[in-house]
Chains A and B, each alone.
Chain A
């Protein structure tokens, strides 16, 4: 392999890692946004002052904005078909946060489901052959 081809391969691998990291952060902000939204909706009143002072709700929406920005940055250099399914990690974080923060009871279906999602994401994200 020529030195130029090798450097292309290295660049492709670095871009891939970077885009996976960005989607990973996107799922964390998405999950935090959903949990905040859920908390915010529990003391929701249809009154403008109550809405603009509903810190969890505003925080939740801001995180959705951040989530979209991270997604765009990830898509810049990554494949849509690899990155988009990774967003399912959001379910994993939301489920775990619901257990710990919202006191929802764990169950076998949810636990198996989040395990499957984690394995699926690991399969998608694992090396593979980078194309030049």
Chain B
């Protein structure tokens, strides 16, 4: 493994964790939205947007180096973290339907990555 690939993998791993927390904060913040447009300016949404967009910067820096067939599967780890946080923070039920749907999506993302150069 080249040092550049290792660096890209760490960046993507970081992006997946940051992005999953971004989604959690967006969800917390979205609960505070009312008919008043100023309700969008709440701290949770601010943190959520920062993390969400921040993760895309990490992600962009990582994939610039190529090797998508290795990096895409790591990107999809973000879906798994988010499932855990949804259970932990929002007490969402993890049904068989969700596991099957997510499983198919993960396989799909890995295949798309294998097809990319």
Residues of A within 8 A of B (CB): 64, 68, 71-73, 75-76, 79-82, 84-85, 88, 91, 95, 107-126, 128, 131
Contacts and interface: CB of A to CB of B under 8 A. Distances in A.
B12 to A, nearest CB: 15
A113 B109 contact: yes
B83 A109 contact: no
A112 B111 contact: yes
Contacts of B56: 64
Given A68-B26, A110-B112, A117-B105, 8 more contacts: A72-B33, A72-B48, A76-B33, A81-B86, A81-B90, A81-B98, A113-B113, A124-B97
A91 B33 contact: no
B102 A124 contact: yes
Given A72-B26, A110-B115, A81 B45 contact: no
B30 interface: yes
Give the size category of B's interface with A: 35 or more
Interface of B: 20, 23-24, 26-27, 29-31, 33, 40, 45, 48-49, 52-53, 56, 76, 79, 82-83, 85-87, 90, 92-95, 97-98, 100-116
B97 A80 contact: no
Contact of B53 (A64, A108, A125): A64
B105 A85 contact: yes
Contacts of A112: 108, 111
